[in-house]
Structure 1
Amino acid sequence: MRLTVISGFLGSGKTTLLRRLLRMSGELRLGVIVNDMSELEVDGDLLRDPENLNEARGNFASIQAGSISGTQRPAFAAVLDAWQGRDDLDHIVIETSGSTHPWPLVEEISQRPGLTLDTFATLIDAKAFMEDFGGGRLIRELSHPQAPLMLAQIQLAGVILLTKTEQLPPPSLQLIATHLSALNPQASLYAVNYGRISPEKLLGTRSFDLEKARQIAAQWPALTENAAQAGELGSTVIDDPRPLYPRRLWTLFRERLGTGIHRSKGFIWLASRDRDVLLWNQAAGSVGMELTAYWKAALVTNPDGKLVPEEIALLQEQLQGAHPVFGDRRCELTVIGPERDRAVFVPELQECFCTDEEIAHWRSGGSFDDPWPKSLLRV
């Protein structure tokens, strides 16, 4: 069975790409393994489909709380062992966490005769690559703390996907392309916005070169599991039922984010938008929110008058045991970065939650200063 690995640094757009790939794969029977270094499962929740893609159907595995190139490598190996002999899957797609070093994955897959690594694709956030890595110069000079990791992900790739290119002018994109070509002249390079790419460029390309990967791993000890630098990045999970005050959250991420917080993601709610389940997505200096669902606690009040009594009764049953004030609403976020940066930033993020007085104001129907865009993309 053939496999495709979707790699890339934190926030490069791997989950967005995979979600679109799943919709466009037609009759191809795909198995999906997704990895999240945090204990909080975000990517798995976004990809899991109760009808077509889930653990019960045996075509989906979510591995979290560690990288599959490090502490969760045994869990990854166990999934590969269980899936390698199956005839009900045509292709396996693996989405790595942003901190995953590629060589241990390649090594694990190559040890199994029933599996063939077909395509290794690496996504690169063009805007972050330009701002944080000098368009690739700091990677080539190895003068950035994450340079060995990104170098490994780039050099082992047969396909490189440059995302968020619409945020940069043509000269910057040309500079990035020049550096990437120097780092990996054999790779196919595509610009991809919002995950739009033909499945044929990721599935069945036969572009992965195992011998080349072995040579790279031998040249760079940092690519091996023993020398992996994933420990430099850690995660902190915030789980709180209270709403976030929209203006304080805006100010924190727009003015006090700092370069050390590489990534934060999860599901939140704002005091000004207590109906919306919001997908929070921050990568480097890019911050966004998307509407993903509605809270049951908001729907049970039947604000639009569209629910029949039976539907309201079902929602009330589902809310039994929920928080007496907030219902099923809660904020679940993971913040990723070095420990020293998280130690400063996370307490400031926790101060963005509403105080008792502000919660009382919310319960009384009060308004809140909300600078976030009024119209949000629906996931």
Structure 2
Amino acid sequence: MNEDAIPVTILSGSLGAGKTTLLNHLLHNAGDLDIAVLVNDMGEINIDAALVSDTSELSVADGGVTELSNGCICCELQDDLNEAVVRLAKNRDFDHLVVESSGISEPEPVARLFTTESRAAALYAVDSLVTVVDSRLFFDAFDGAGVPERRGTDDEDTRPLSDLLVEQVEFSNLVVLNKTDLVSDEELETVSELVRALRPDAELRHTSHGQLDPHDLLGQRLYDPQTAAEAAGWKQALAADEEPDHSHGHGHHDHAHPEEMYGVSSFTFRARQPFHPKRIADLLSSLPRGIIRSKGTCWAAGCGDNKLTFGQAGPSARIEVSGPWIASLSELDQELYKANRPNLDWDDEWGDRRTELVFIGTDLQEETMREELETCLLTDDELTADWDGFENPLPSELDELVVLAAP
């Protein structure tokens, strides 16, 4: 790491989670720490920038707060973000940069700007990815009776709030559980365990009104680009019990559980036999409410020998074609893939075709869920039948996506 690089903290969180309140508290209590803040909001007027600059000694004009408007910094304004952070580094002397991403964007694309070959990456080093969580909203989204909807978004933004909440937490090094005064002690413990299940190595901070000591949030040096992509709870659960499965029958039952507190646990389902497309679609579209996150790869009959990727967060569930199975390619291409992937789990009959699904949730009825998944696998008679004749609501073309469940 470049010792002269400016540390940058990327701050994300849903709309209304308390990011701006936290930023203002950091600025007012920075002491001898000089903090530069770059804020972004959706729309023509950058509300967050105005709130930060109006309540601090810094202003947009003097470069302490750089305002980006008319879009999200992780997509349309990627070039503007690069220009803004480079300009900040050249025109103002400060100790730490905080980038607040829009409340409807993921932190990963922003982090990529500072970790890939760019002018910004040459000047900065990512310190931590921080997500601010509205404890009340998070509990209601995944363990309460209500299903909260996204707020303040346009008609084109149709992705459920639960998807965003999960993805922001899964890509975080540090999670600030805000608005703790709005939940009971038991509810807060449940939220904490749900967050740990989604991102096991994330550090947690509790606060009611974003009142954290800057030194508890900045300078943590938690971001590791080598492990960031594999740190999500569902990926760790897969890796924890990863071992070659050479069975030709049904599910592989070895699994690993995280620390079980307040009923939060996980299990992994593996199988070499393909699913019946209609039966597995029906099951995955009506998962028990206690499952807050599930993700993985599916092999289903009648899908054009394509690999399916399934993802679920709360009441939202989607499945899409992510590419062909290696075993469906020519022998030459298969050998090339095998040569480049020495750890590829290969079965003599099925090749790389397999199902690997991770389920994370509260009070999981694991045995019941396993039995239901087993019944979705093809029977011996169905294995020898015409798979194209099965009723198939699943996608079968490259990049095709099917919404199985929505709030």
The TM-score with structure 1 as length reference comes to 0.52
Residues in 2 aligned to 1:70 and 1:192: alpha-carbon distance in whole angstroms: 31
Distance in 1 of aligned mates of 2:84 and 2:145:
35
Structure 2 SS opposite 1:154:
helix
Which residue, out of 130, 153, 156, partners 1:121?
130
Structure 1 residues 42 and 148: CA distance shift in structure 2, 3 A: same
SS at match of 2:11: strand
Change in CA separation of 1:42 and 1:66 when aligned onto 2, cut-off 3 Å: same
Q: Counterpart of 1:17 in 2: which secondary structure?
A: helix
Matched, 1:38 2:47: no
Alignment of 1:234-245 (within 5 A): none
Q: Report the equivalent of 1:179.
A: 194
1:75 corresponds to? 80
Give the match for residue 353 of structure 1.
none
Aligned partners of 1:37 and 1:64 also within 8 Å: yes
The Cα offsets for residues 246-298 of structure 1, whole Å up to 9 and x where unpaired, read as xxxxxxxxxxxxxxxxxxxxxxxxxxxxxxxxxxxxxxxxxxxxxxxxxxxxx
| C-alpha distance 101-50 of structure 1, shift in aligned 2 (>3 A) | closer
Name the amino acid aligned to 2:166. Answer: L
Supply the distance in 2 between the matched residues of 1:101 and 1:215 (Cα, whole angstroms).
16
- How far apart, in 2, do the equivalents of 1:11 and 1:107 lie? 25
5+ unaligned residues in a row in structure 2: which ranges? 1-5, 149-158, 236-294, 297-407
- The CA distance in 2 between the partners of 1:136 and 1:90, in whole Å, is 44
Give the drift of 1:115: 0.6
Comparing 41-50 with 121-130, which one deviates more in the overlay? Answer: 41-50
Distance across 2 between alignment mates of 1:52 and 1:195: 19
Label 1:22 to 1:165 Cα distance change in 2 as closer, same or farther (>3 A).
same
Other-structure match for 2:175: 160
**Alpha-carbon separation, structure 1, partners of 2:164 and 2:132:** 13
Q: Does 1:107 align with 2:92?
A: no
More helix, by proportion: 1
Structure 1 segment 255-294 matched on structure 2, within 5 A: none
Q: For 1:137 and 1:155, locate their aligned partners in 2 and report how far apart those are by CA, in whole Å.
A: 22
Q: 1:93 aligned to 92, 98, 113, which one?
A: 98
The answer to whether residue 217 in structure 2 is matched with residue 212 in structure 1 is no
Unaligned stretches of 5+ residues in structure 1: 222-379
Aligned 8 A contact 1:2 1:117 in 2: yes
Corresponding residue for residue 184 of structure 2: 169
Shift of 1:102: 1.2
CA distance in structure 2 between the partners assigned to 1:17 and 1:9 by the alignment: 13
1:7 Cα offset (Å): 0.9
Moved over 3 A (4+): 49-52, 84-87, 135-139, 214-217
- CA distance in 1 between partners of 2:162 and 2:228 (Å): 18
CA distance in 2 between partners of 1:119 and 1:11 (Å): 21
Shift of 1:52: 3.3
* 3-state SS of paired residue (2:215): helix
Give the aligned length.
217
Whether 1:130 and 2:139 are equivalent positions in the alignment is: yes
Residue 22 of structure 2 aligns with an amino acid whose one-letter code is L
SS of residue paired to 1:210: coil
For 2:110 and 2:22, the matched residues in 1 are separated by 20
SS of 1:174's equivalent?
A: helix
Contact 1:61-1:79 within 8 A present in 2 as well:
yes
User: 1 CA distance for matches of 2:166 and 2:172?
Assistant: 10
Q: Distance in 1 between matches of 2:201 and 2:16?
A: 25
Evaluate the alpha carbon distance shift between residue 119 and residue 136 of structure 1 in structure 2; reply closer, same or farther with a 3 A threshold: farther
Amino acid in structure 1 at the alignment position of 2:123: G
TM-score by length of 2: 0.49
Residues 127 and 220, structure 2, Cα contact 8 Å, conserved in 1: yes
Kept after mapping to 2: 8 A contact 1:161/1:191:
yes
Cα RMSD of the aligned pairs, angstroms, is: 2.9
Counterpart for residue 391 of structure 2: none
Residue type matched to 1:133 in 2? F
In the TM superposition, what is the alpha-carbon distance from 1:121 to its structure 2 partner? 1.0
User: What SS class does the counterpart of residue 211 from structure 1 fall into?
Assistant: coil
**2-structure distance, mates of 1:202, 1:136:** 32
Amino acid aligned to 2:73: I
User: Alpha-carbon deviation of 1:9?
Assistant: 0.9
1:290-369 matched pairs, under 5 angstroms: none
Name the structure, 1 or 2, with higher relative contact order (CA <8 Å, separation 6+).
Answer: 1
Aligned-partner Cα distance in 2 for 1:71–1:216: 27
Q: Identity, % of aligned pairs?
A: 30
Q: 2-side partners of 1:212 and 1:9: how far apart? A: 24
Q: Partners in 2 of 1:51 and 1:157 — Cα distance?
A: 27
